[in-house]
Amino acid sequence: MVGRTEALSRTLAGFLLRRLAASLLLLLLVLTVLFFLVRRVPGDPTQFGEGSRLTPTQRERLQELYGLKRPLLAQYLDWVSSVSLRFDWGTSLSQQRPVSAALLDALPATAILAFSGLAVEYLLALLLGIAAARRPGSGLDHAIRVGGLLLYSLPIFWLGLMAVLLFAYLWPVLPSSHMHSVDVDLLSPAQSLLDLGRHLVLPALVMGFGVGGGTARYVRARLLEVLGQDYIRTARAKGLSERRVLWVHALRNAAVPIVQLVGVTLPGMLSGALLIEVVFSWPGLGLLAFNAILARDYPLILGATSFSATLVILGNLAADLAHAWLDPVVRNEAA
């Protein structure tokens, strides 16, 4: 028995490792392509922003300082070795500090936004999905299905702008952008937390509602699938209350594909967060990457892209593990 469990976890580990290896290989490939592409394009960071006022000699000096004049291959090998061996992404040209510091500064903002958005999304999805699945084919079910489709069809950045228009301007109850008020330093810890919460409401709601409609449809479909199974009929035949059948037996079994969905939609969520961050000037990774691109800050662009890709890869790994933990069958499938 012990031997069998070991063999299973070994194959699961093997499966996860193969996935991880493929993802990392892709990441390296993408970054390599990006590295050379970025450098091949005319225009370098010494020509943007403050750089436009430089004299030719100053510019040359800067290019030397940033290592932009060395052979491209040497720059590339340097970059790969320092990233992979020392986790050192170099120095951001526009912020004049280590790329890793800029990334780590932006990470909490994105994490707060993403988790709040996720919470709104799944709360909405479970509520609507369960309500629809309880009486399939009813008017409520149709309304939720069609409403869900309409909701996830709305462009998230436009939804954000409309939310600003409605709740920050026509009916000004919430702040329209940024993460804190300007006077946040003067506030007490409790007040500043409240301040953060007020700034979080619109972006998190927009993010959650923007994708929650689709997730609700998914929850409904999975629940209906489960409700058609034999063991549900057995549970009903045993005389269990409909509430118990739905909330305990059906939902627990629908949880597996729903957790899987979190992993599958992770890249999309990060993209959504990026747009939301740009709309609401939310100082996260997306806004950082966006500004880095506008400033042609090569090290920061490469750092932000690889960092967010790594987050997605890790998130997928976590979702796979959670999936395996919830559903022992997957171990056999993975073998």
Partner 1 sequence: MSRRRPAPTLLWGGALAGLLVATALAAPLLAPYDPAEQLDPPAGLYRPPGTVLAAVHLAGGGWRLADRVRRTAEGLEIERLGQAETLPADQVSNLTARGVADRRVFLLGSDRFGRDLASRVLYGTRVSLAVGLLAVALALTLGVAVGSAAAIGGRLADAVLMRGVDALMAFPWLFLMMALSAFLHPGPGLIVVILGATGWMAISRLTRAEILSLQNREFILAARGLGLSPFAILWRHLLPNAYTPAAIRATLQIADMILLEAALSFLGLGLQPPIPSWGNMISEGQDVLLQSWWVATFPGAALALTVIAFNLLADGLQDTFNPRAATLPRL
Binding site for partner 1 (CB under 8 A): 18-19, 22-23, 25-27, 30, 34, 37-38, 41, 146, 149-150, 152-155, 157-158, 161-162, 164-165, 169, 211, 213-215, 217-218, 221, 261, 264-268, 270-272, 274-275, 278-279, 286, 289-290, 293-294, 296, 301, 304-305, 308-309, 312-313, 316
Cβ proximity to partner 1: between 221 and 259 the closer is 221
Would you give the end-to-end CA distance of the chain in angstroms? 17
**Least distance to partner 1 from the beta carbon of 312, Å?**
5
Residue pair 280/109 in contact (Cβ under 8 Å)? The answer is no
Residue 34 or 62: which CB sits closer to partner 1? 34
Strands 97-98, 91-92: pairing kind: antiparallel
Smaller CB separation from partner 1, 145 or 235: 145
Question: Least separation, in Å, of the C-beta of 331 and partner 1?
Answer: 18
In the complex, the smallest distance separating the C-beta of residue 63 from partner 1, rounded to whole angstroms, is: 18
Task: Decide if 152 contacts 210 (C-beta within 8 A).
Answer: yes
Helix segments in the chain, DSSP class H: 2-40, 56-65, 72-86, 99-134, 139-153, 156-164, 189-227, 230-237, 242-244, 251-264, 266-280, 285-294, 298-326, 329-334
**132 or 235: CB nearest partner 1:** 132
What is the nearest approach in angstroms of partner 1 to the Cβ of residue 22? 4
Return all residues near 38 (Cβ < 8 A) that are at least 6 apart. 298, 301, 302
Residue with Cβ nearer partner 1 (113 or 235): 113
Minimum separation from the CB atom of position 21 to partner 1 (A): 9
Nearest to 120 by CA among 219, 240, 201, 194: 201
